[in-house]
Structure 1
Amino acid sequence: MSPLNPKVISIILAVLVSAITSGFLWFIPGTPGGAIFVAGATSFFATLILTFYVLDYLIFEEINKIYDTIQRLKLKDFNFSKKKVARSENPLKKLNNEIFIYVAKKQREIDELKRMEQFRREFLADVSHELKTPIFAAQGFIHTLIDGAKDDEKVRDKFLQKAAKSLDGLDALVADLLTLSQIEAGEIKMHRERVDLVRITHEVIEQLETKAHNRDIRIKLTTPSDQIWVKADGYRISQALTNLIDNAIKYGRDGGKVFVTFEEDKKDWQIEVRDDGPGIPPEHLNRIFERFYRVEKSRSKEKGGTGLGLAIVKHIVNAHKSKITVMSRVDKGTAFTFKLDKVE
């Protein structure tokens, strides 16, 4: 048995206290032997019980808990009861819980820093790749012209148009990156006011009519009223609707339809943008709002876009204290839905 065992320590202390008590009474003249025995036995058992309780329940048990806590922290098990921390009067128990909470908090901070560092590396890699593509394309066309192709009028015009298209794509990418970074940093505040959702949507549809016509796609707006008033930043909601409807046109099927529907709840208006295109496979649905994430990269590149549209939409909707959801079935189409506060 270990000498640090609380039972052994309690017995040793009880024997010492009992011996001292009995010895003291032994030297007092006239003390009966029976009284000395009773006093010795009483002091032995009282010391044994008290010492064992203090050592085992108040010290050793809490030290073992601290050790267990350290083991849990090594395994990154951060479950703890806040109620126990608040109600505990044992200083060792409080110390144990404080250590646990502090280390758990620091570990979460470390994990978050690691996650952000990984995200930063991936983001820089994505940005570098996205910037490199239009720059190299424009660079190739221009150098070809410099090397002599400029003398051929047809080749010159064709290459200049392609270079301009690449630079336009680069400009759109930089603009979207700037918008996204400003929204995430809180530099762009949502100026929420009373705006007509129907008017905003009509304006967006008018802007995209040519693109829809080129693919023989019909945009159908379903609204229960000619005016729907919501509390929102009109410019940002217009930007979100533009991205959603533009995506529905780009990735929908030729000759298909895009449905924009408004439905009224008690406190909100629900906005849905739906297409009847090829849909999105289930394994991609939880990632489509990530920056630069594309379901089919080659197909997405051909159709243009910066890969940041849905990320911008998500942040705009979140800034309006709402949430955007997506439902999709392969070969059946995709629907994006979010809500805005209703006002009279």
Structure 2
Amino acid sequence: MDNKETLLLIQNITHQAINPMSGVIGTLDNLIDGTVPEHKRSQRLTRARSQLEYTVSLIRNLSYFAEYATGNSDSISSSTIKTTVIPQAIIESAQFFQERGENTDIKIELENRKIQNCVKGDPNLLKQVFMNIIDNGVKYGKSGTKLIIKNNIQKRTNDLIITFEGNSEPFTSHDSIFDIGYRAKSAQQKTSSGSGLGLHICKLIIENAFHGKISGQHTAAGVTIFEIRIPNGFTK
């Protein structure tokens, strides 16, 4: 990235962090001055927490990116001593986007949630990947559709395969969707534009911490599919 691209990326990330934080401040002000009626206080607090979680996720993305940019990736590449239970990690990641999904009429649906598929690796890292992809699916998804998440162990290879399928903004197979700062042309027109960093972080984490692969495609039928493949998956 040249200096101009770096500055635009920082500007975009800053904008994305300021908006939810401003929302939290506004909510707290309304709670303090009594503007919010008693029966809506819990709902507003839940929304404020979700906004804070989103901001933390965004800052964590920037932190991961900074580690790799400076060559200090030890904390990511040495995370294999832990175990991630996939359905649990997906559910915990999805909960931060349930309200936004309801507002845009996009339902997040996890299949095979009772099958405890696992991989070796830090749950927080994999949850960051899931949050980034779910964020994309809800932000750029089409109203009235579902974001369907599946996970299974491929018998022939023992690879854990996780897919995210939804109707969203298109991109072509020639697009470098995992490059730093990438956003599809159609997505650039959205006011809730992303940082252009999330999918790049997904690639770094999947390849370096889990020694796997991540891919994305947009079909002729208008379905966007992200697939994560991680070796040595197992079921509890």
Partner of residue 254 from structure 1, selected from 122, 128, 143: 143
- The CA distance in 1 between the partners of 2:151 and 2:136, in whole Å, is 19
Q: Which of 162, 170, 175 is the equivalent residue of 1:279?
A: 170
Structure number with the bigger relative contact order (C-alpha 8 A, sep ≥ 6) is 2
1:188 aligns with one of 75, 80, 84: 75
User: What is aligned with 1:291?
Assistant: 180
* Structure 2 Cα separation of the partners of residues 127 and 245 of structure 1: 25
Q: Quick one: structure 1 residues 206 and 171, their matched pair in 2 at CA, closer, same or farther if it must change by over 3 Å?
A: closer
Cα distance, 1:129 vs structure 2: 2.0
Kindly provide the amino acid, as one letter, of the partner of residue 240 in structure 1.
V
Alignment partner of 1:131 is 2:10 = yes
Deviation at 1:283, TM superposition (A): 3.3
1:278–1:331 CA contact under 8 A, matched in 2: no
Deviations 1:311-339 (A, max 9, x none): 00000000111110112125511111112
Q: Where in structure 2 are the equivalents of 1:16-95 lying within 5 Å? A: none
* Counterpart position of 2:86: 197
Distance in structure 2 (CA, Å) of the matches to 1:206 and 1:325: 24
Cα deviation for residue 299 of structure 1 reads 2.1
Report which of the two has the higher share of strand.
2
Question: Residue 216 of structure 2 aligns with which residue?
Answer: 326
Which of residues 200, 210, 227 in structure 2 aligns to 1:337?
Answer: 227
- The secondary structure found in structure 2 opposite 1:230 is strand
Q: Counting helix residues as a fraction of each chain, which structure ranks higher?
A: 1
- For 1:278 and 1:326, locate their aligned partners in 2 and report how far apart those are by CA, in whole Å: 13
* Structure 1 unaligned spans of 5+: 1-118, 139-167
Could you tell me how far apart the structure 1 residues matched to 2:91 and 2:57 are? Answer: 23
Secondary structure of 1:307's counterpart equals coil
- How far does residue 177 in structure 1 lie from its aligned partner after superposition? 2.9
Asked if the contact 1:200–1:238 (Cα under 8 Å) also holds between the matched residues in 2, the reply is yes
| Structure-2-length-normalised TM-score | 0.71
CA distance in 1, matches of 2:91, 2:55: 28
Distance change (3 Å), C-alpha of 1:244 and 1:221: same
After the TM superposition, list the runs of 4 or more consecutive aligned residues in structure 1 that deviate by more than 4 angstroms: 132-135, 168-175
Distance 1:178 1:275 in 2: 28
How much identity, in percent, do the aligned residues show?
22
**Could you say if the C-alpha distance between residues 211 and 342 of structure 1 is closer, same or farther in structure 2, counting changes exceeding 3 Å?**
same
Q: Return 5+ residue gaps in structure 2 as ranges.
A: 19-51
Output the amino acid matched with 1:325.
S
8 Å CA contact 1:278, 1:330 repeated in 2: no
The residue identity in structure 1 corresponding to 2:233 is K
Q: For residues 62 and 84 of structure 2, what CA distance do their matches in structure 1 show? A: 27
Deviations 1:80-103 (Å, cap 9, x if unpaired)?
xxxxxxxxxxxxxxxxxxxxxxxx
* Secondary structure at 1:253 match in 2: coil
Provide the secondary structure at the position in 1 that maps to 2:151: strand
The TM-score normalised by the length of structure 1 is: 0.50
Deviations along 1:49-105, whole A, 9 cap, x unmatched?
A: xxxxxxxxxxxxxxxxxxxxxxxxxxxxxxxxxxxxxxxxxxxxxxxxxxxxxxxxx
Query: How many residues end up aligned between the 2 structures?
Result: 189
SS of residue paired to 2:213:
coil
